Amino acid sequence: MSVPAKARRRAAELREQINLHNYRYYVLDDPQVPDSEYDRQLRELQALEAEYPELITPQSPTQRVGAQPLAGFTEVTHRVPMLSLDNAFSEEEMIAFDRRIRERLGEHSDAIVYSAEPKLDGLAINLRYQSGQLVQAATRGDGNQGEDVTQNVRTISSVPLQLIGSGWPEILEVRGEIYLPLEGFERLNRDAAAAGEKGFANPRNAAAGSLRQLDSRITARRPLAMYCYGFGEIEGGPLAETQSESIRRLADWGLRISPEMRTVTGVEECLEYYRRIGERRHSLGYEIDGVVFKVDRLDLQERLGFVSRAPRWAIAQKFPAQEEMTRLLNIDIQVGRTG
């Protein structure tokens, strides 16, 4: 049975609208329609696809959850290695980092512009888009080889299956952090407690456990989210002249970026940004363990290059270890309950 042109047009229209609603909701944080209208459109699309299965495409917003659990995860070799970051644990170490950069660049007088954003405490992921379609999602692994978690990442509502807008490169690899917002983490642990199950120690473990599911229907029930902060392979080279501009372009294509991203000039402004984020740390709604600064100009990043597994042009200024406190408290509570 062939699909009537009218049904085909309507399905395309619904998909475009739903993708746009997702963009307004997840990227702009400014929804255009009430949830009920979004749900109505999704149901209409589902009904159309049920009537005419030929209309179903892997990119359809109805196709986020895989039907078949996997037997195991396959390995993925990263085309561009996924690196780690050097840490700074004090203002002095930040000042030394900035000084090293200026000395290397031989630009003692000029203050360096940095792109600054929170360091999310989640899991690094590489998303690969081909012709605007999400074709692969892989974990960082050892930096060279990770695991294919495409089925699971497809269930994350803020990860577009199809980029919106125009002008994206044929091949676009985007990197970012998958994390579990605190509200979702608390809900998950409440549900686990109600079912008499053991909860997760922290949001990071919960996010990692959720991504490691072989059955994507389980992942789909975990309210994971993602912020994009970097790049892997890009056909045709960089998206802009600076880190911050390149990241902003991602938002135009429907990818979610941190609303806390700022450019700061010179190390004093870095320290000021660190202090401000530190003050707001507990009202962000997700866990962060510091702030990341990246030399904003990509030509300078290239000149600075890498040492072993980390770029010379970036650093994570960490918050004082508060994590240990949390861990101790958790142990305390569990002993109380079982003892």
- Give the interface with ligand IVH as residue ranges (CB under 6 A): 83-85, 117, 119-120, 124, 140, 177, 229-230, 292, 311, 314, 316
Of 83 and 182, CB closest to ligand IVH: 83
Of 7 and 83, CB closest to ligand IVH: 83
Q: What secondary structure, in 3-state letters, does the chain show?
A: CCCCHHHHHHHHHHHHHHHHHHHHHHHCCCCCCCHHHHHHHHHHHHHHHHHCHHHCCCCCCCCCCCCCCCCCCCEEECCCCCCCCCEECCHHHHHHHHHHHHHHHCCCCCCCEEEEEEEECCEEEEEEEECCEEEEEEECCCCCEEEECHHHHCCCCCCCCECCCCCCCCEEEEEEEEECCHHHHHHHHHHHHHCCCCCCCCHHHHHHHHHCCCCHHHHHCCCCEEEEEEEEEECCCCCCCEHHHHHHHHHHCCCCECCCCEEEEHHHHHHHHHHHHHHHHHHCCCCEEEEEEEECEHHHHHHHCEECCEECCEEEEECCCCHHHHHHHHHHHHHHHHC
Of 45 and 178, CB closest to ligand IVH: 178
In the complex, what is the shortest distance from the CB of residue 130 to ligand IVH, in angstroms, rounded to a whole number? 22
Of 45 and 257, CB closest to ligand IVH: 257
Of 85 and 172, CB closest to ligand IVH: 85
| Residue 194 CB neighbours (<10 A) | 8
Catalytic site residue from 6, 119, 198, 294: 119
Note if 119 is an active site residue.
yes
In the complex, what is the shortest distance from the CB of residue 22 to ligand IVH, in angstroms, rounded to a whole number? 22
Residue facing ligand IVH at closest CB distance: 124
Whether the CB-CB separation of 122 and 180 falls below 8 Å is answered with yes
Of 60 and 115, CB closest to ligand IVH: 115
Q: Which of 119, 175, 157, 160 is nearest to 252 (CA)?
A: 160
In the complex, what is the shortest distance from the CB of residue 82 to ligand IVH, in angstroms, rounded to a whole number? 6
In the complex, what is the shortest distance from the CB of residue 117 to ligand IVH, in angstroms, rounded to a whole number? 5
Whether the CB-CB separation of 289 and 121 falls below 8 Å is answered with yes
In the complex, what is the shortest distance from the CB of residue 111 to ligand IVH, in angstroms, rounded to a whole number? 21
**What is the spatial distance between Cα 267 and Cα 113, in angstroms, rounded to a whole number?**
9
Of 24 and 303, CB closest to ligand IVH: 303
In the complex, what is the shortest distance from the CB of residue 150 to ligand IVH, in angstroms, rounded to a whole number? 18
In the complex, what is the shortest distance from the CB of residue 126 to ligand IVH, in angstroms, rounded to a whole number? 10
So which residues are the catalytic ones? Answer: 119
